[in-house]
Structure 1
Amino acid sequence: MPRVLIVEDHPRMAQAVAAALQAQGMACDTVATLGHAAVFLETARYDVLILDRGLPDGDGLSLLAQLRALRQSIPCMILTARDALGDRVSGLETGADDYLAKPFEMAEMVARVKALMRRNQPWLPDESSFADLKVSAQASTLFVGAASITLSPSELQIILTLMRHEGKVVRRAALESAAWGAFSEITPKALDVAIHRLRGKLGVLQSGVSIINTKGVGYALAVLPNT
């Protein structure tokens, strides 16, 4: 399922954009500040970033500039009331892939987001790996050698997030956000149940990797001794 991060400080606008994209089968997280956006981008993988400019803690272009300096090529659409030619030029030169001025039609916004996803799909990495594990995001499949097993959407996002942190502990909140979205209503044990299922699948595949728990903090991948 495609995932979109919406950085917009007007709640009604954020909710309307999210609803329009969710109706097209996309998962959306919404945040109102640059600080929160940076945290979400560190803990989850997004297919598109929708970014307002006039935010409580600064201009959205400052976040985009940081992402591009780090060579992060997530497709970015600027949604803003700043529609002067100079504003549009500065947004595109900073690294935005599209620039849509408010007010706008939701149908056009959705079409542009879909176009960004299609345009950038070829370079999005499909496979991730850690030790003897390999994951195909497109196929939602976990591999150990020639053996494979299918992952649920939440399991896929959890294992990909753990892989990206390369053995470092990932906090529970970050894993829950990656698997179900920041504002999803899930039970306190949902993450533990998903981790239990993933451990079972690692066992079926006879992987040399385990998922370890740091009590009260989160989870990490670890290579088992003598493997």
Structure 2
Amino acid sequence: MRVLLVEDEREMAAALAAALAKQGVIIDHTRTLTDAFELTRQHVYDAILLDRRLPDGEGLSLIPRLRKGGNDTPIIVLTARNEPKERIEGLDVGADDYLGKPFLVDELMARLRAVMRRPPHLAEPEIVVGRMTIDPLHLGVTIDDVPFEMPRREMLVLVALAKKKGKTVLRSVLEAAVYNYESEIQSNALDAHISRLRKRLLDASAGVTVHNIRGVGYLLRED
């Protein structure tokens, strides 16, 4: 899950990004409406977390601008402005949900999953490939119905490959699935994740193999 966080309080943003990362969420963070709009033009997000009090204006003003341009990414407003009138205002302008600060990360994750289940963002319930069943929303994997654990970044790579099973996935697409746009990615970082993932799947007899398409990307194929 890749999420855009629009929040001007740096400490709040850092703490939230760290907490969500533990849940397998890739966070791109910006402090302004201007940068937020530009990022939505450059990247596809599963959801947007939007504060209201931002340095360059009212956060809610971003919503109609996105909707007018055809961007229907689910938006959850996260704000200390949590009076009933303010919640109604946020929902009426087009927010999918409205959560007052402070909040529990577990509740935010539940709300993220909920808005992503709504059409047209209905998440693929599961991906079956080889002997594996993959839940891309909750980042869960079973092999023959037995839970199979792996590190978060390897899991993100696996989900990205499984969504395009049998097709080549570009390196840039895989990197975007694992890292946020601010990350400094070492040249061999993705290859290291792939190498460990390939061995893990082989050792577990998962029924799939990760193939290197030299100079292009990787492909997940059933054995």
Q: TM-score range by the shorter chain?
A: 0.5 to 0.7
Identity of aligned residues (%): 27
Per the alignment, residue 77 of structure 1 pairs with: 77
AA matched with 1:183: E
Equivalent position of 1:26 in the other structure: 20
**Residue 19 to residue 147, structure 1, CA distance change in 2 (3 Å):** closer
The residue identity in structure 2 corresponding to 1:49 is I
Tell me, yes or no, if structure 1 residue 116 matches structure 2 residue 108.
yes
CA distance in 1: counterparts of 2:14 and 2:5, whole angstroms: 11
- Give the number of equivalent residue pairs: 197
Deviation at 1:14, TM superposition (A): 6.6
1:1-227 maps to which residues of 2 (within 5 A)? 4-7=3-6, 13=8, 15-22=10-17, 25-27=19-21, 28-31=27-30, 32-37=35-40, 39-41=42-44, 49-51=48-50, 59-63=62-66, 66=70, 68=72, 74=74, 76-77=76-77, 91-93=90-92, 94-98=94-98, 108=101, 110-111=102-103, 115-119=107-111, 121=113, 128-132=126-130, 133-136=132-135, 142-146=141-145, 149-224=148-223
Say if 1:211 and 1:222, in contact at 8 Å, map to a contact too. Answer: yes
Amino acid at match of 1:63: L
Say whether the 8 Å CA contact 1:162–1:170 is kept in structure 2: yes
Q: Distance in 2 between matches of 1:182 and 1:95?
A: 25
Q: Is the 8 A contact 2:77 2:90 kept in 1?
A: no
Q: 2:142 and 2:99 mapped to 1: Cα distance?
A: 40
SS state at 1:41 partner? coil
Structure 1 portions without partners, runs of 5+: 101-107
Could you give the per-residue CA deviations for residues 134-181 of structure 1, whole angstroms, max 9, x where no partner exists? 135698654332566421011111111222334443332332232233
Cα distance change on mapping 1:141 and 1:113 into 2, 3 Å: closer
Amino acid in the other structure paired with 1:219: Y
TM value normalised by structure 2: 0.63
- 2: CA distance, partners of 1:159 / 1:61: 35
Distance 2:110 2:99 in 1: 17
Contact 1:51 1:60 in 2 (8 A): no
- Looking at structure 1, the residues matched to 146 and 105 of structure 2 have their Cα atoms a distance apart, in angstroms, of 36
Change (3 A) 1:197 1:206: same
Q: Distance in 1 between matches of 2:63 and 2:137?
A: 30
SS in structure 1 of the partner of residue 159 of structure 2: helix
